[in-house]
Chain A
Amino acid sequence: MSRIATVFAALKAEGRAALIPFVEAYDPSRETSLTLLHGMAANGADIIEIGMPFTDPMADGPTIQAAGRRGLLAGATLRGTLGLVEEFRRENNHTPLVLMGYLNPILSYGVAAFCADAARLGVDGLIVVDLPTEEADLLLPDASKNGLDVIRLVAPTTSDARLPLVLAGSSGFVYYVSITGITGTRTASAADLARDIPRIRAATDLPIAVGFGVRTPEQAAVVAQHADGAIVASALIETLVRENVDAVLRDVKALAEGVHGARQAA
């Protein structure tokens, strides 16, 4: 079983949801990212998303845009991000890592070489924001050959009729973009989630994680009552900018408590 499937199976057995925090690679330094990865794993992160910096992150709000710029200024490259994963894996072989980013750096690296290197160095899944299902044949064969999960985005605009098409070939979990908008802006309400998540459940057996606009332990707890995982990115980056690494880990711990306690409380 893959690391991602193992984590979700264990959480399911415990009746809990997953906390999935986000780290933008090299923001503002490689060392910070490595410290955050280990610290998040130690403070309740079940899976960690690593952002691959790109000059033109079209689906991201100002917070992640700025994080990507700082990462690039600090010398982030796709090869460097894979190196970060490799170093993390020397000490942690259990926390699943999902790379999230945009297609062009992957194309530039070479899709086949990237999938092979990513899998070999310890990446578990890929989220490529600007690769919709219509274009996914560009990535799927190499990803599946190397055992990488391709995690699909589902949006509020994805119709019921379209869901099976979007989910075809996806594995690991489903990433529900809970709002129409960019990252770190609006937040979906409990009522929105109560309406939307069952619609996706009807179309897949995969776990469903919710992202875009999940900021506080309370919001993460609401997500955990409806879905199988909560993804938190912009709020943690803002904490990193405003305070420091320790404050981010404090927030991760609080978020983890919110997510993990949610179903017992409900």
Chain B
Amino acid sequence: MNTALPNTLRNGPDGRGRFGEFGGRFVAETLMPLILELEAAYEAAKADPSFQAELDYYLKHYVGRPSAMWHAERLSRELGGAKIYFKRDELNHTGAHKINNCLGQILLAKRMGKTRIIAETGAGQHGVATATVCALFGLPCTVYMGAVDVERQKPNVFRMKLLGAEVVPVSSGAATLKDAMNDAMRDWVANVRDTFYIIGTAAGPHPYPAMVRDFQCVIGEEAKAQMLEAEGRLPDVAVAAIGGGSNAIGLFHPFLDDKSVRLIGVEAAGKGLETSEHAASLSKGRPGVLHGNRTYLLQDDDGQILEAHSISAGLDYPGIGPEHSWLHEIGRVEYVAATDKEALDAFQLCTRTEGIIPALEPSHALAHVSKIAPQMGKDEIILMNLCGRGDKDIFAVAKHLGVEL
């Protein structure tokens, strides 16, 4: 099933780090030699069976992989259509898919002899995952986080500090994920010799989009095998939420050549696509260059980057990974959007029917599932990536529901 087709969609990026017109390496010269060094180190690691074996060891014994695939029967019944399965990456150690990538990158950092780790974080899930692997391997860790996100994700900030990380609140711009990424890049350019930058999403300069994707593909590969075992066939639809797009590319990529599987990415529509407060780069943006790659961006007529908005800090980003931009342009993946309100409804629906409190990020995916499932037949299958758990979000949700904690 994993045989590459002659016309496979899984060969990207090209030698310049591009997926079609997207991707590339748009960084200052100071960083360029590091990016090239990283690419060479990653290629060597990929070709080294002992690297994959080491990663597999940690994924199994530390993260708890493979994550379960759960038939959400009550939810399926309630929606009254397709049979819905959750790929439960919220069961991973640290509560989200982010750790899959952090482990891969920190093992690479160790191979490269780097002694200091930096990261950016939005919701704090990637920051927590990075702080966790740094604690595990005894490396100092600095996490850049928008000051607004520090405020709305207090539990994760405290977690990171407990894990020994320094959390630097970033107050430039809108003080969210985009600005945290700017400051992480600035740190990196000032500490080029010893520092490894663990980017959390499938964006940034090449080789990050490909590397993060590769480390997240474990999601789709496991789900594919689990689905074949449970149902003897592939799902009809696979759905995932998209901020930068790492959990989605991890789920989608192993299915790209399976033409029968409809792939749907769900962006954050915030207060509505008709407003200016959303994070839907593909639905409402246009191509440009930010954070080292050419991709769809929310920007004004002058090419200034616009602030994104989402109830979910993890989706609050005005760009998207370049491979998604390409998959959008060639039409292999459909990209839709769900509003804050729809995500909140889905959050409660999942909690009530399945006893699983999802993060607000996958709640966006679930919001779309609840739109399409009723229109599908009972013998049709939806696979959704439940990429994070919602414990971190209960304060934000309570606030939106008018509940005082």
Please give the residue numbers on chain A whose beta carbons come within 8 Å of chain B beta carbons, in ascending order.
54-59, 61-62, 65, 72, 77-79, 102-109, 129-135, 152-159, 162, 166, 177, 180-182, 185-186
B301 — which chain A residues lie within 8 A by C-beta? 108
Contact B27 A130 (CB under 8 A): yes
Report which of A132, A152, A186 forms a contact with B25, defined as CB distance below 8 A: A132
Q: Can you list 30 A-B contacts with CB-CB less than 8 angstroms, sorted by A residue number? A: A56-B179, A57-B182, A58-B27, A58-B185, A58-B291, A61-B186, A62-B172, A78-B302, A104-B299, A107-B287, A107-B288, A107-B303, A108-B299, A130-B28, A132-B29, A132-B32, A134-B24, A134-B25, A134-B32, A153-B30, A154-B29, A155-B29, A155-B30, A155-B33, A157-B29, A177-B28, A180-B190, A180-B191, A180-B193, A182-B189
Per CB-CB distance, the 7 closest pairs between chain A and chain B, nearest first, are A108-B303, A105-B303, A181-B190, A155-B30, A77-B302, A153-B29, A104-B303
Measured CB to CB, the closest approach of chain A to B252, in angstroms, equals 27
- Chain A nearest Cβ from B30, distance in angstroms: 4
**Which residues does chain B contribute within 8 Å of A155, judged by CB atoms?**
28-30, 33
B289 part of interface (Cβ distance < 8 Å): yes
Check B290 for interface membership: any CB of A closer than 8 A.
yes
Interface: B140 (CB within 8 A): no
For B290, what are the chain A residues with a Cβ–Cβ distance below 8 Å? 56, 104
B251 to chain A, nearest CB (A): 29
Contact of A129 among B24, B28, B193, B291 (CB under 8 A): B28
B16 CB–A CB distance under 8 Å: yes
Indicate the member of A77, A157, A158 with the most B CB atoms within 10 Å: A157
Interface residues of B (CB under 8 A from A): 16, 24-34, 172-173, 178-179, 182, 185-186, 189-193, 287-292, 297, 299, 301-305
Please give me the residue from chain A that is nearest to B305 by CB atom: A55
Enumerate chain A residues within 8 angstroms of B193, measured Cβ to Cβ.
180
Q: Are B172 and A72 in contact (CB under 8 A)?
A: no
| Chain B facing A: main interface SS | mixed
Residue of B nearest to A77 (CB): B302
Q: Considering only CB atoms, which chain A residue lies closest to B31 in the complex?
A: A157
Q: Chain B contacts of A131 at CB under 8 A?
A: 26
Q: How many A-B residue pairs have CB under 8 A?
A: 120
Question: In this complex, what residue of A is CB-closest to B174?
Answer: A55
Distance from A79 Cβ to chain B, minimum over Cβ atoms (Å): 8
Closest A-chain residue to B32, C-beta based?
A132
Residues on B with beta carbons closer than 8 Å to the beta carbon of A162: 33
- A153 lies within 8 A of B28 (CB): yes
Asked if residues B305 and A132 are in contact (CB atoms below 8 Å), the reply is no
Cβ–Cβ contact B299 & A132, under 8 A: no
Residue of B nearest to A108 (CB): B303
Q: How far is the CB of B239 from chain A (nearest CB, A)?
A: 31
How far does the Cβ of B16 sit from chain A's closest Cβ, in whole Å? Answer: 7
How close is A112's CB to chain B, nearest CB, in angstroms?
15
Across-interface contacts of A61 in B (CB, < 8 A): 186
CA distance A118 to B297 in the complex (A): 25
Instruction: Judge whether A157 and B303 touch: CB under 8 Å.
Output: no
> 13 additional contacts, CB 8 Å, given A108-B288, A108-B301, A134-B24?
A54-B303, A56-B290, A78-B302, A104-B288, A104-B304, A132-B32, A135-B26, A153-B29, A154-B29, A157-B30, A157-B32, A177-B28, A182-B189
**With a CB–CB cut-off of 8 A, which chain A residues contact B190?**
180-182, 185-186
Contact A59 B33 (CB under 8 A): no
Asked whether A105 lies within 8 Å of B302 as measured between CB atoms, the reply is yes
The distance from the CB of B14 to the nearest CB of chain A, in whole angstroms, is: 13
Chain A residues with CB under 8 Å of B24's CB are 134-135
Q: Is the CB of A56 within 8 A of B303?
A: no
Of A55, A109, A135, A154, the residue contacting B173 (CB under 8 A) is: A55
For B291, list chain A residues within 8 Å (CB). Answer: 56, 58
Chain A positions within 8 Å of B192 at CB level: 157, 180
Contacts of A78 in B (CB 8 A): 302-303
